[in-house]
Amino acid sequence: MTENQVLELGFGIDMEYAHDQFVTRRYIKDMLSVEFTYEGEDLLTCEVTIQEVNSHPVSFIELKLLDEIINMGKPNLERKKGYLRVKKSTLKYYKSL
């Protein structure tokens, strides 16, 4: 992801600050913020933060979409004999990627 792509989505620059040999730029749109941290010209990290949401009404479809996005990449777990383990269907999915 690039800063230009974030701007295309309607995010606005919130702040830019230097710390040690690093420079970080933060972009904000509503409850989302995206930070790009550079060392010189090299992008080191690109991180997304979702601000705390209090009492926001949500439909089942919206909750399902949020779950798929926020928990993307996290394996589905099941409890067996007191232990958490990855579901076999999840393992098959990741092996197919």
Distance of CA 19 to the CA centre of its chain: 23
Q: Residue 10 maps to which CATH number? A: 3.10.450
**Inside any domain, residue 26:** yes
Helix, strand or coil for residue 97?
A: coil
Higher pLDDT, residue 26 or 85: 26
Q: What is the mean pLDDT of residues 7-36?
A: 95
Q: Is the pLDDT of residue 18 over 80?
A: yes
Residue 89 lies in a domain: yes
- Give the pLDDT of residue 24: 97
Report the domain count for the chain. Answer: 1
What confidence score (pLDDT) does residue 86 get? 57
Is the dihedral angle over the CA atoms 56, 28, 40, 21 positive or is it negative?
Answer: negative
Task: Say what the pLDDT of residue 9 is.
Answer: 95
Domain-embedded: residue 46: yes
Residue type, 80: K
Strand order in the sheet with 12-19: 12-19, 22-29, 32-39, 42-50
